[in-house]
């Protein structure tokens, strides 16, 4: 009997978490389509300029920086000492 109660509680918890996470994803996607945020993001400098400024402050000039228009996330590859930056025009949030 205890297992049935635990199973029912676990299933209901998973359903509630699923509904909440779907709502958050939907809200975040709606934010990406707001024109006000697009105009604000155009006022910032390019991602490459920001990365160069940060690396200059850290006295690290040996890292190669390239922008990938297809990427959705930025990453640093330590083996090749390279930063691949995603385009902010399409995926700024």
What is the per-residue pLDDT across 18-63, written as a single tens digit (0 to 9) for each?
A: 777 776 777 777 777 777 877 887 788 888 888 889 889 999 888 8
d(CA 10, CA 46): 46
Q: Are 41 and 88 in contact (CB under 8 A)?
A: yes
Provide the whole-model pTM: 0.53
CA triplet 58, 85, 68: central angle to 5 degrees? 150
């Amino acid at each position: 009997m205890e297992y049935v109660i635990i199973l029912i509680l676990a299933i209901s918890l998973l359903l509630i978490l699923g509904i909440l996470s779907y709502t958050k994803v939907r809200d975040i996607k709606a934010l990406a389509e707001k024109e006000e945020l697009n105009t604000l993001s155009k006022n910032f400098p390019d991602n490459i300029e920001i990365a160069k400024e940060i690396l200059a402050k850290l006295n690290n000039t040996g890292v190669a920086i390239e922008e990938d228009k297809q990427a959705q996330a930025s990453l640093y590859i330590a083996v090749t000492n390279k930063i691949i930056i995603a385009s902010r025009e399409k995926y700024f949030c």
